Structure 1
Amino acid sequence: MHLTTDAIVCGVIQHGESGTVVRLLTPEAGMQPGYVRGGRSRRLRPVLVPGNVVRADYRSRTEDQLAALTVELVRSRAPLLAEPLAAAAIDWTTALAATALPEGQAYPRVHAALDGVLAAIESAASARGWAAALVRYEYLVLTELGFGLDLSACVVTGARDDLAYVSPKSGAAVSRAAGAGYVDRLLPLPAFLIDGGAAEWDAIRDGLRLTGHFLARDLLTERRAMVLAARERLILRLQRAGA
């Protein structure tokens, strides 16, 4: 196996006295693990930071062997880690990819979405500039891994207009008229998940509640549920920031 590509650092685990096992999300080869010799060294620690973009070179004798990995920094987002809210967002978005995506399967849309969220965190003046993109990223991860919500039409009437809720059981959309009288049993569906564009904080909170329900129920279960602590820390910081 020999692969050279730009990739996003998503997970770093200590291995031995000085090495690390690194999980990188690549555009065309999906999530790829590799062993970085000396990954805990003073030179490589600032490179192997979740959210950074690196030029990765993987080499292994067989496909089943953990590849030896060398990296060069392409884009550093390490300065953002000094900002608690940005750091929490980077921690969660990269951890979600590292935990949920199976190795070696291409998810180019997830790669593009994660890169877009990280770029928005880097450039936006406030969390409102990237929070909606983060919700869309979570929604896309659910969709790409087979747990997508059906937001195309009302599950009750078939109507495609005025979709306002989602059934927490089926994941299907419900129109405002069909949901009347059952609001307390349904999850709010923010319009920006269907229409795109910017979102107010109330809609972003609804979006986080919606995707969070299905992430916890369907995707991040058993041992993988531990990663949800990173999401809880992010939401707590968003609340403290006034979101």
Structure 2
Amino acid sequence: MASLTAEAIVCAVRAHGEHGAILRALTEGAGLVAGYVRGGRSTRMRPILMAGNLVVLELRARTDEQLAGATAELLASRAPLLAEPLSASAIDWITSVTAAILPESQPYPALYAALSAVLDAIAAASSARQWAAALARYELLLLAELGFGLNLDECVVTGARSDLAFVSPKTGGAVSVGAAAGYEERLLRLPAFLRGADGDPSLGDVLDGLAITGHFLDRDLLEGRNRDLLAVRARLTDRLGRAVA
């Protein structure tokens, strides 16, 4: 990819040199891309290069191996959402984990659409419960797209497709009520919304869903790397937990 012009979601910005910044952003067709923004730390560019913002990104490089030079034009700002601690924590987490674990220059159109939907939900939802459910579904999709999908359609023990109420933390498979008898405390509770059930889940159900996705993200994708990301996620789930209370 020597050149690219595309809409992109800003995922991470890191200072580089005295005035510049390295931008990582998710595009629909090219996946996660990176580029050097000259003057990226300037007063003019800082409001544009904020996590969650939608921009028109232009990348230019002489070779595919060279870090591209980048320019960005703002299409939609998420800055107002960053003034609220819970929304800010959610945007910080979802963009940070996307930038940290996706391989660069591989298209994930489903993830791009889902990330856009989560950000739109944070902006539009009247309660954290609504956008937090979308966040949990995004994490579930992230696992699936990177080859660590969970089997939530049938019981890993009996093959039953009904009364699925738990998830095995070892296999990532659903477990039915009957098969879980006596072992409930060793399993993760499976809320219906994570299996695509209609209706708005309670915030308690959302936290159960996030406990599932968090367990497998930590085990299968973070794998001891990017441990600082877990602190970002912990702040988010802590604030959601206080919202429940």
Name the SS for the 1:212 alignment partner.
Answer: helix
Matches within 5 A, 1:44-193: 44-193=45-194
Task: Kindly state the Cα deviation for residue 217 of structure 1 after the two structures are TM-superposed.
Answer: 1.1
Q: Please list every run of 5 or more consecutive structure 1 residues that lacks an aligned counterpart in the other structure.
A: none
Partner of 1:204: 206
Task: Kindly state the Cα deviation for residue 223 of structure 1 after the two structures are TM-superposed.
Answer: 2.5
Percent sequence identity over aligned pairs: 59
Partner of 1:214: 216
Between 97-106 and 194-203, report the one with greater CA deviation.
194-203
Task: Kindly state the Cα deviation for residue 208 of structure 1 after the two structures are TM-superposed.
Answer: 1.0
User: Normalised by the size of structure 2, how large is the TM-score?
Assistant: 0.97
Cα-to-partner distance string for 1:109-136 (whole Å, 9 max, x where unaligned): 1111111000000111121120100100
Matches within 5 A, 1:15-34: 15-34=16-35
Task: Kindly state the Cα deviation for residue 237 of structure 1 after the two structures are TM-superposed.
Answer: 1.4
Name the SS for the 1:47 alignment partner.
Answer: coil
> Do the aligned partners of 2:204 and 2:244 also contact (CA within 8 Å) in 1?
no
Name the SS for the 1:103 alignment partner.
Answer: coil
Cα-to-partner distance string for 1:130-159 (whole Å, 9 max, x where unaligned): 010010011110111111111121111111
Partner of 2:233: 231
> Do the aligned partners of 2:207 and 2:237 also contact (CA within 8 Å) in 1?
no
User: Normalised by the size of structure 1, how large is the TM-score?
Assistant: 0.97
Cα-to-partner distance string for 1:195-214 (whole Å, 9 max, x where unaligned): 24421122111101111111
CA RMSD of aligned residues (A): 1.0
Q: Please list every run of 5 or more consecutive structure 2 residues that lacks an aligned counterpart in the other structure.
A: none
Name the SS for the 2:6 alignment partner.
Answer: strand
Supply the distance in 1 between the matched residues of 2:37 and 2:45 (Cα, whole angstroms).
9
Task: Kindly state the Cα deviation for residue 20 of structure 1 after the two structures are TM-superposed.
Answer: 0.2
Name the SS for the 1:114 alignment partner.
Answer: helix
> Do the aligned partners of 2:54 and 2:76 also contact (CA within 8 Å) in 1?
yes
Supply the distance in 2 between the matched residues of 1:109 and 1:126 (Cα, whole angstroms).
25
Supply the distance in 1 between the matched residues of 2:197 and 2:179 (Cα, whole angstroms).
23
Task: Kindly state the Cα deviation for residue 239 of structure 1 after the two structures are TM-superposed.
Answer: 2.0
- Structure 1 position 241 matched with structure 2 position 243: yes
> Do the aligned partners of 2:165 and 2:176 also contact (CA within 8 Å) in 1?
yes
Between 32-41 and 201-210, report the one with greater CA deviation.
201-210
Supply the distance in 1 between the matched residues of 2:184 and 2:135 (Cα, whole angstroms).
25
Matches within 5 A, 1:9-20: 9-20=10-21
Task: Kindly state the Cα deviation for residue 181 of structure 1 after the two structures are TM-superposed.
Answer: 1.2
